Structure 1
Amino acid sequence: MPSRKSGLAVVAVVAAFALAGCGTTEDDLFSNLNGTGSGDAEGADAPTPALNTPKGDAPPNYFDNNRVRQPGEMGPEDEKKARRKAVEVDRVLSELRLAGKVGPGDVRPALEQLAGSAHVAVGNRLVGVGTRKAEGSDFGIWIGTSACVTGAVSKDRVWATANGHYLETGCMPPAPAH
C-alpha cells in the first residue's frame, strides 16, 4: 500500500507538469482555440497572416475587429489621381479656412466644384466617440472605383489624405467606437 507521502509526491509532480505545461507557454496552450494557431502535425499548413496586419503591440484580434475602420487598397491609377486631388483639396480648403469658412455649407460647394462629377460627402466634424460636434467639416470624395480623398477642415488646420474606400462607409471614415 502506497504511503501518504508518496501519494502527495505524485500529486505534486502532476500539478507541476500541469502548471508548467510541459515546456509550452500559455500562448502555445491556447493558440488554436479559434483555428489560428499552427498545428504540430506534419504537413499542417500554417495560416498566412493578413497582409495588412499591423506590426507592434496590439491586443489579440485587434486588426480583425477593427477591419471596418481601415481603408481598402487603391488601384494604381486611382491612387495617382487621388494623391493629386488631395493636394488640390488641401489648397482650396486652406483658403476657406483662412477666410473662417469651415462649416459644411461652405465646404460642400467648394469640394463639388473641385470634384466635378465625383461623389462628394460632407458632414459636421465629430469628435470623441462620434457624438459631439466640433467646429469644421469632415469630407470624402470618391476617386475612380477604388480611391478616396478623405479628410477634415477646422479653424486650426486642414487634413486631406488619399486612401482606399472604407468597408462600410465608403469615403467617410467610420465614427470612433469604444
Structure 2
Amino acid sequence: MVRMVFTVTSTRRRRLGVAASALLAGAALVSGCGEQHHSSGGTRSTPATSPSPSSPAPSPYVEPGVVDGAPHNGDNNAYRRPRDMSPADEEAAQAEAARMEPVLKRLHEDKKWDPESVKAALTGKLGYEIRRTTSGGKLLGGELDVQEMRSRYENDEYVTPEGASIGLYVGDHACVTAFVQPTNYGVQTNGPFPETGCMEPPTGH
C-alpha cells in the first residue's frame, strides 16, 4: 500500500476534506496488488507468474532389459522365443547336436556350406531324412530341414549370404538349430519356434 500525506491550512481544511477522501480512495486503487510504484508516479504491471510446467507425458512402455528402449520389444519379438523343452526333450536334442557338430565342422573346413552339400552330409553320414510336407502343411515324414541363409538388406538391395540354415526336429517338442557359413558354424538346442518350427526365424518380423 502507498501512504499519501497531505499538509493543509486551517482555513482550507473543510473544503479539502472531501477532496482528500477522494484522493485517498484513488491511491488505494492505484496501490492494488500486481503493480509496482516509482517516484516518477508511473506504473508498470508486474509480470504474471508463469504456471508451473505440466508433468511430461508418460513414456511408452519399455520392456525391462531392452537396451535401446524399444516400446513393446518383448511382444514384437515373441515369435523369436522358442517354446520350453522338458528335461527329457532337452537331453535328446543335446545328443543329436553332439552327433551333428563334427559333421558341420568338417563341412566348414572343406568349404562346403551350400545347402545341397550340407543336406547330403547330414542325410548320408547321420541318417536323417529330409522333412516332407504337403502343400497344406501336413507332415509326410522326415525330421531335417536345410535351407539357404535368409536374405538381408544391404546397400539398397536384398542379398542372400553364402551358407545353409539347419533345423532338426527331435520328437515333437525339441530342436537342433544350426548353420554353417564361410565365417563360422554353430549348433544349439531349443524348443520349436512358434511360426518357423525348428528353423530359426528372421530378426525382423
TM-score, length-scaled by structure 1: 0.67
Would the aligned equivalents of 2:128 and 2:144 in 1 still touch at CA under 8 Å? no
Shift of the 54–171 alpha-carbon distance from structure 1 to 2, 3 Å rule, reads farther
Shift of the 77–115 alpha-carbon distance from structure 1 to 2, 3 Å rule, reads farther
Residue of 165, 170, 175 corresponding to 2:197: 170
Between stretches 108-117 and 162-171, larger displacement belongs to: 108-117
Would the aligned equivalents of 2:66 and 2:73 in 1 still touch at CA under 8 Å? no
Would the aligned equivalents of 1:121 and 1:139 in 2 still touch at CA under 8 Å? yes
Q: In structure 2, how many angstroms separate the alpha carbons of the residues matched to 1:126 and 1:168?
A: 15
Question: Which residue is equivalent to 1:36?
Answer: none
Q: In structure 2, how many angstroms separate the alpha carbons of the residues matched to 1:164 and 1:135?
A: 26
Residue of 109, 124, 148 corresponding to 2:148: 124
Q: Does 1:154 align with 2:181?
A: yes
Residue of 59, 82, 94 corresponding to 1:71: 82
- The structure richer in helix per residue is 1
Shift of 1:96: 1.8
SS in 2 for 1:73: coil
Shift of 1:134: 1.6
Between stretches 106-115 and 79-88, larger displacement belongs to: 106-115
Would the aligned equivalents of 1:125 and 1:138 in 2 still touch at CA under 8 Å? yes
How many equivalent residue pairs? 147
Shift of the 80–105 alpha-carbon distance from structure 1 to 2, 3 Å rule, reads same
Q: In structure 1, how many angstroms separate the alpha carbons of the residues matched to 2:153 and 2:122?
A: 26
Structure with larger Rg: 2
Structure 2: state its 5+ residue gaps.
Answer: 1-32, 35-44, 130-141
Q: In structure 2, how many angstroms separate the alpha carbons of the residues matched to 1:152 and 1:134?
A: 12
SS in 1 for 2:54: helix
Measured on the aligned residues, the alpha-carbon RMSD in Å equals 3.1
TM-score, length-scaled by structure 2: 0.60
| % same residue | 28
Would the aligned equivalents of 2:115 and 2:147 in 1 still touch at CA under 8 Å? yes
Q: In structure 2, how many angstroms separate the alpha carbons of the residues matched to 1:54 and 1:111?
A: 40
Q: In structure 1, how many angstroms separate the alpha carbons of the residues matched to 2:104 and 2:176?
A: 13
Residue of 43, 46, 58 corresponding to 1:26: 58
SS in 2 for 1:20: coil
Question: Which residue is equivalent to 1:136?
Answer: 163
SS in 1 for 2:83: coil
Shift of the 159–72 alpha-carbon distance from structure 1 to 2, 3 Å rule, reads same
SS in 2 for 1:151: strand
